[in-house]
Amino acid sequence: MKEKLPSILVSKLDQNNLNKLQALGNPDVVSFIEEYIELCNPDKVFVRTDSEEDIAYLRHKAIELKEERELKTEGHTIHFDGPKDQARDKNNTRYILPAGSPLKSSVNSIERQQGLQEIRALLKNIMVGKEMFVCFFSLGPLNSEFSLIAVQITDSSYVAHSEDILYRPGYEQLKKKKGTKDFFKFVHSAGELINHCSKNVDKRRVYIDLENELVYSVNTQYAGNTVGLKKLSLRLAIQKASREGWLAEHMFLMGVKDLDGNKAYFCGAYPSMCGKTSTAMISGETIVGDDIVYIRSRKEKAYAVNVERGIFGIIKDVNAEDDPQIFKALNTEGEVIFSNILVDENNMPYWIGKDDNLPARGINYSGEWSPGKKDIQGNEIEPSHKNARYTIKISDLENVDKNFENPEGVEIRGLIYGGRDSDTSSPVEQSLSWQHGIVLQAASLESETTAATLGKEGLRSFNPMSNMDFLSISLGKYIQVNLDFANSLKNPPKIFAVNYFLRGKDGKFLNSIQDKKIWLKWIRLRVDNQLKALFAPTGYIPKYQDLKELFEKVLAKTYGRKDYDQQFTLRIPETLAKIERVRKIFKGYIQIPDCVFKELDAQEERLKNCQREFGDYVLPEKFKEVD
């Protein structure tokens, strides 16, 4: 016999939705939903199951409520966020922490009682006149040991629709878990709307309650603030993973073939503007995921899954030549949500970098638009926002990997860490060991700013594992979790560093855009010991002859010795300066493992010994060949 549901649920849900909630057989889920129905006070509540009917209901609601509008191509829609709601709100994204928490020293936080009081006051009666959508998703493939359940409450049909594209359905998964208390929770409201966009962005808040594994988001629609299952759930997962001995990482997951077509899988962490998407989507290889992975050990090997099933990608400069798979998906019938781009009078989308066919007029996030339009500060408004996005399913890409939905995950043979560095690091390098790689290549990851981002080039941003913004544990503990992960593995994945942005004395890049194919092939061949390498003080680097042959076979391109020497010369003064920079940074954090400083010291000693023997700048020919 089914338990009697609380009166607040009976008053807000019709019988069909009550039945869907009862069928879960989960009192904790019901209590969570009940609490926020009472607080937010919606007019009615819709419970989304995995049925096509329920999924279609949310898609239609997005059109009906004008949070999205249909475009000319079948299945394509456009969503606009308000002019002041175009990116992740880092200042108002805070952890709700108790007094005395050691995490307070390294993250943006608010005292627990104050934070809960503030966010609950903002949520009080915020859904009056609206419909609440209760959705269930799986973070990871269905029926997988990797996957976690997420319960999302929102009043935005656009958010619910986006999550349906980005994540696997979780209603039936939750039923199978028979009353589990282990699920992530998300509560979102777009708040009061004006022109179908969040009005009170001055009261935008994104608060993360680690204790209850619950994320609050209010007075915002931008997906980076509202699609809780993305970077917000990554924060929850990092904490959970640290307790349970697995890894939650900000990484792509892709398959790379050797010269005979044999595939191996790699994860890669790259900060923004460092080539992450272009690597994951490289032609001739396959993609499993572009953003977030969970990594677990099984039978002394590392396996990973893509947490998501879709891509929420920056659309600026996506074009037919550089991004053929994505571009084709964005111009083919099927489910696509564009956000904050320009729509012309024929209901066709346009974005910066698409092509040269700029329409004479249209509608974008600022309203009606034509070339030369300016904002209230007198700045020219571009046709689409620089952070404009597309939302698609990975399964709609032609290069999707056959193991994309494999609940067992895929075995990981290597981890790749990519920074942006104009004067120090070579294009590709293999670490000397797991510990050396985690410390010197992963935890020491840096990215230089570009003129486009801050108006000043060369400022170095410290971003360990490209995950700094999302850490929910101390940096020291996070590094230790990564170090310890190898203890359960017989042969840990090999670790590599790449840098596509090295410049010569003339300021020009020493790599072409397509050269990353070669660095990736070299990495692929190294994990199977098909190529030897040179032993440098900073790691293993390629031999010239191997790269020469790869350039000829893969790109039909001549690779000169001069290019090789420029790219792989060891720049000792710059490398020593980096060691000193990151050492100083690490000393400012608590709980940094002693081995971090030992690895830095050991690399510094190797470099100084090399410097005494060969000078400041050492050609690769000086290094010994090793297996």
CATH superfamily of 312-396: Phosphoenolpyruvate Carboxykinase, domain 2 (2.170.8.10)
Beta bridge partners, 364, equal 367
What integer pLDDT is reported at residue 66 of this predicted model? Answer: 97
Give the model's pLDDT for residue 590: 86
Provide CB contacts within 8 A for 519, sequence distance 6+: 427, 428, 498
- For residue 452, pLDDT over 60 is answered with no
Do residues 254 and 268 make contact, with C-beta atoms less than 8 angstroms apart? yes
Mean pLDDT of the chain: 95
Give the burial string for 301-314 (b: 16+ CB within 10 Å, else e). bbbbbbbbbbbbbb
CATH number given to 7-67+90-245: 3.40.449.10
pLDDT category at 219 given cuts 50, 70, 90 is very high
pLDDT at 298 over 50: yes
What pLDDT is attached to residue 450? 64
Q: Which residues are tagged catalytic? A: 274
Asked if 216 and 209 touch (Cβ cutoff 8 Å), the reply is: yes
Q: Is the pLDDT of residue 457 over 70?
A: no
pLDDT, residue 322, reads 86
Confidence of residue 1 (pLDDT cuts 50, 70, 90): very low
Does 142 score more than 80 pLDDT? yes
Instruction: Inform me whether the pLDDT recorded for 453 exceeds 50.
Output: no
DSSP class of residue 234 equals H
| C-alpha span between 619 and 627 (Å, rounded) | 20
* Tokens 């394509």, located at residue: 76
- Compute the C-alpha angle 103/485/298, nearest 5°: 130
Q: Is the pLDDT of residue 2 over 60?
A: no
Using DSSP bridges, classify how beta strands 44-47 and 131-139 pair: parallel, antiparallel or unpaired: parallel
Q: Is the pLDDT of residue 29 over 50?
A: yes
pLDDT for position 454: 40
Residue 234 confidence (pLDDT): 97
User: What's the rounded mean pLDDT across residues 231-259?
Assistant: 97
Domain residue spans of the chain = 7-67+90-245, 248-308+404-626, 312-396
547-556 contacts at long range (C-beta below 8 A, 24 or more positions apart): 547/518, 547/522, 550/518, 550/521, 550/522, 551/518, 553/259, 554/517, 554/518, 554/521, 555/514, 555/515, 555/517, 555/518
Q: Express each pLDDT in 496-546 by its tens digit.
A: 999 999 999 999 999 998 999 999 999 999 999 999 999 999 999 999 999
* Segment 601-614 mean pLDDT: 98
CATH number, domain 248-308+404-626, options 3.90.228.20, 1.10.10.10, 3.40.30.10, 3.10.310.10:
3.90.228.20
Amino acid at 431: S
| pLDDT band for position 555 (cuts 50, 70, 90) | very high
Cα torsion for 332, 334, 337, 338, to the nearest 10°?
10
Which whole number is the average pLDDT over 207-211?
A: 97
For residue 299, pLDDT beyond 50: yes
The percent of residues in the chain predicted with pLDDT above 70, rounded, is: 98
Average pLDDT (305-315) is: 96
User: CA 159 to CA 503: how far, in whole Å?
Assistant: 42
337-350: average pLDDT: 96
- The C-alpha atoms of residue 243 and residue 487 are separated, in whole angstroms, by 15
